[in-house]
């Protein structure tokens, strides 16, 4: 048995800590072992947050007086695709939302149809991963209703949003699990602050995932796909920013 003297042990720990902090942080941060440690912490955070919140705990809702005077836009504000431009030009008359994947009855719904479905209106706070917040009023159809209509197959575990906007040719996509998909505040909003959803904020349809950060709230939603695994979506991490920049898939904090 190797006996490390206390002094040596502490000296090496101290040197390790110093090295980590001064020059090594970036290097340590890139090492695969450390990366997986950090990813493990994401999992721990999600489990802990789910543990202390009930499944249907509502995000705080606000009054009209609390709304941001100007709700800034973020991410893409005008999808470049010709297809989207054509839909925009015709007022989304021929646009259809597709609900497919692991469902019993795939759906294809017009915007008019979606607007006639039961809607929920909520004044909620939008928290960007960057740190800012804006409060706005959203009206839309609960995702739970659409998924109920399509009939989720038992193997379905995640809901993927496929979007019309793109970054450098890669269309935006995001995903949530069924806890958030079936949450009462998870809606596909077609109105904001009492007016039809603007292009900047994601017309014709934008996901609201009120217990998570802004990048989960996919704009320009074209297709909703139920899947059993995220491995075949994008590069496998469940969302555009997750795949491209390493943001957490679970964005509850």
Partner 1 sequence: MEAEIASPEEAVPEAAVEAQKEPETFYRHRRSTRLWHWLNALTVFVMLMSGLMIFNAHPRLYWGRYGANYEKPWLEIGSDSRSGFLKLGSARIPTTGVLGRWRDGEGNVKNYAFPGWATIPSQYSLADARRWHLAFAWLLVLPGLFYWLWSFANRHVQRDLAPSRSELAPSHIWADIKDHARLRYPTGDAARNYNVLQKLAYVGVLFVLLPAMVLTGLAMSPAMDSAWPWLLDLFGGRQSARSLHFVAAALILGFIVIHLVQVVLAGPINEVRSMITGWYRLPREKEK
Structure tokens at 18: 């110093």
**Residue 76 or 92: which CB sits closer to partner 1?**
76
Return the number of the residue (69 or 89) whose C-beta is nearest partner 1: 69
**CA geometry: angle 101, 222, 206, nearest 5 deg:** 115
Q: How far is the CB of 152 from partner 1 (least distance, A)?
A: 23
Identify the CA nearest to 201 among candidates 121, 139, 243.
139
CB of 58 to partner 1, least distance (A): 6
- Bridge partners (DSSP) listed for residue 187: 142, 208
Nearest-approach distance from CB 41 to partner 1, in angstroms: 3
CB atoms within 10 A of CB 27: 11
3-state class of 113 per DSSP? helix
Nearer to partner 1, 76 or 212 (CB): 212
For 209-229, the DSSP string reads: -TTS-GGGS-SSEEEEEEES-
Rank residues 18 and 148 by Cβ distance to partner 1 and give the closer one. 18
Closest approach of Cβ 7 to partner 1, in Å? 8
Task: Report the nearest approach of partner 1 to the CB of residue 167 (Å).
Answer: 15
3-class SS of residue 139: strand
d(CA 36, CA 21): 19
Provide the binding-site residues for partner 1, judged by CB under 8 A. Answer: 6-7, 10, 13-14, 17, 20-21, 25-26, 29, 37-42, 44-45, 49, 52-54, 57-60, 62, 66, 68-72, 125, 127-135, 210-213, 241, 245-248, 252-253
Contact 192, 138 (CB under 8 A): yes
Nearer to partner 1, 10 or 80 (CB): 10
Structure tokens at 159: 């809901």
| Cα gap 8→11, rounded to integer Å | 5
- Pick between residue 165 and residue 210 the one whose CB is nearest to partner 1: 210
CB of 120 to partner 1, least distance (A): 16
- 125 by DSSP, 3-state: which? strand
């Amino acid at each position: 048995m190797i006996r490390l003297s206390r002094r040596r042990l502490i000296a090496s720990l101290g040197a390790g800590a110093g090295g980590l902090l001064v020059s090594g942080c970036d290097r340590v941060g890139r090492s695969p072992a450390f990366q997986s440690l950090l990813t493990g912490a994401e999992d721990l955070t999600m489990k802990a947050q789910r543990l202390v919140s009930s499944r249907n705990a509502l995000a705080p809702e606000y009054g009209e007086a609390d709304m941001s005077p100007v709700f800034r836009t973020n991410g893409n504000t005008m999808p470049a695709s010709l297809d989207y431009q054509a839909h925009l030009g015709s007022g989304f008359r021929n646009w259809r939302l597709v609900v497919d994947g692991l469902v019993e009855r795939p759906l294809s719904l017009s915007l008019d149809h979606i607007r006639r479905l039961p809607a929920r209106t909520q004044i909620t706070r939008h928290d960007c991963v960057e740190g800012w917040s804006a409060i706005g009023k959203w009206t839309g159809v609960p995702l739970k209703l659409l998924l109920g209509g399509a009939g989720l197959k038992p193997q379905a575990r995640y809901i993927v949003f496929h979007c019309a906007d793109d970054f450098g040719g890669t269309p935006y996509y995001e995903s949530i699990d069924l806890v958030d998909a079936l949450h009462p505040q998870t809606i596909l909003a077609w109105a904001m602050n009492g007016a039809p959803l603007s292009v900047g904020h994601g017309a014709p349809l934008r996901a609201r995932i009120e217990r998570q950060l802004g990048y989960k709230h996919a704009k320009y939603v074209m297709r909703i796909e139920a899947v059993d695994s995220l491995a075949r979506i994008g590069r496998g991490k469940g969302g555009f920013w997750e795949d491209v920049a390493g943001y957490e898939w679970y964005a509850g904090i």
